[in-house]
């Protein structure tokens, strides 16, 4: 991720923070439209899940912006998602839903450069979440 992309993400985040709960709801609505089978991975209160998504996204992206790297917390989050049944193929759908949700929220402010920056940030986060430590240590 380039310095310029990190600056764009920071500016975007300042426009989005605090991410409202409806951001998470809109995201999940789109996610389930793209792949209805994903709905079965989510048990319990979807509003709570939407709130957790917003918190995790904020912490993950802000760390990526400020530190230029993905935190170990993101890797741990990926391990939990793996245990919940999230497969590699789901990450592309998740990314598509995330970018769509950002576009809906930001409207004309979601420029091609900003789209590219968010896609790159998501690629870095998704790659880290899919990292599986080797069984041999």
Confidence class of residue 55 from pLDDT cuts 50, 70 and 90? confident
Long-range contacts of 19-26 (CB under 8 A, 24+ apart): 19/54, 19/57, 19/58, 20/54, 21/47, 21/50, 21/51, 21/54, 23/50, 23/54, 23/101, 23/105, 24/49, 24/50, 24/51, 24/53, 24/54, 25/50, 26/101, 26/104, 26/105
Fold of 3-37+47-129: Globin-like (1.10.490)
pLDDT for res 136: 44
27-50 pLDDT per residue, tens: 999 999 999 999 998 888 888 888
pTM: 0.86
User: The tokens of 95 are what?
Assistant: 């990314």
CA 42-22-57 angle, to 5 degrees, is 65
Distance CA 72, CA 84 (A): 19
| C-alpha radius of gyration, the chain, whole number | 15
User: What are the residue boundaries of the structural domains of the chain, listed by start?
Assistant: 3-37+47-129
């Amino acid at each position: 991720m380039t310095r310029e992309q990190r600056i764009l993400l920071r500016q975007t985040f300042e426009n989005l923070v605090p991410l409202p709960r409806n951001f998470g709801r809109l995201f999940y609505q789109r996610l389930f439209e793209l792949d209805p089978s994903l709905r079965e991975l989510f048990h319990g209160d979807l509003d709570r899940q939407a709130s957790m998504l917003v918190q995790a996204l904020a912490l993950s992206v802000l760390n990526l912006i400020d530190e230029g790297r993905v935190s170990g917390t993101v890797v741990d989050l990926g391990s939990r998602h793996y245990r919940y049944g999230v497969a590699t193929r789901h990450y592309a759908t998740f990314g598509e839903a995330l970018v769509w949700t950002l576009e809906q929220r930001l409207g004309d402010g979601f420029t091609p450069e900003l789209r590219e920056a968010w896609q790159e940030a998501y690629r870095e986060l998704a790659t880290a979440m899919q990292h599986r430590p080797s069984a041999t240590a």
